[in-house]
Structure 1
Amino acid sequence: MKKISYIFLLCSSFFLNSSFSQNNQNAQDIFKENLAVFEKLANGEDANLNSIYEARGFLIRITGISYEMEKSFDMPILPPQQTLNEWKTWFEKNKERLYWHKRKKEVRVKNK
């Protein structure tokens, strides 16, 4: 009986860890997709205005790194290269803390 319990715990642990790893990877992929919107713009490629606006809000919400806009209206303007670099650096330092919150259906950052 102890052997069966041990096997069950081992299997449960494996599935929970792989599920968490998958959620973690999905959250990282979502972050990279949002960052890619601005990288494409910086390279002169076109992007949908809605995707720019959503990517900007996502990256600011997740990282806490914002930038001043050139105009006083709330339109997503390409951030300076310094901000793109700060977002990339933040991601490299914190990517393991990103996860998908199932109930809220959004990417979140785990507390340290």
Structure 2
Amino acid sequence: METFMVKKMKFKPSLPLRVIGRSLYVALTMFLGMTFPFFGALLGFFGGFAFAPTTYFLPCIIWLIIFKPKRFSFSWFMNWFCIIFGVLLMVLSPIGALRDIIVQAKTYKFYS
């Protein structure tokens, strides 16, 4: 945002610009978090699909393909453990978040 303001809108880079720009960003993010119902549950829902694969099992699968460790070695077991854990996390996290959305929807009031 600051880069856009400096390069495209021709503002001079300065501390007040940085403070105002970042404060506006935080205020906008806070407003979106308050406005969107079930923001935390939505983060869990979409985060389960994005966080688990990129953190747990895709790196392990790629490592197993590239390095081809000896079958049933310690590193082979640890990678398979992370793969299984990541898949379980990817499946269970959105289910839990969806349950949370359903439970919260019964008593939801806008800006409460």
Task: Output the TM-score relative to the length of structure 2.
Answer: 0.33
Higher strand share goes to which structure? 1
Instruction: Pick 1 or 2: higher relative contact order, CA cutoff 8 A, min separation 6.
Output: 2
Higher helix share goes to which structure? 2
Task: Output the TM-score relative to the length of structure 1.
Answer: 0.33
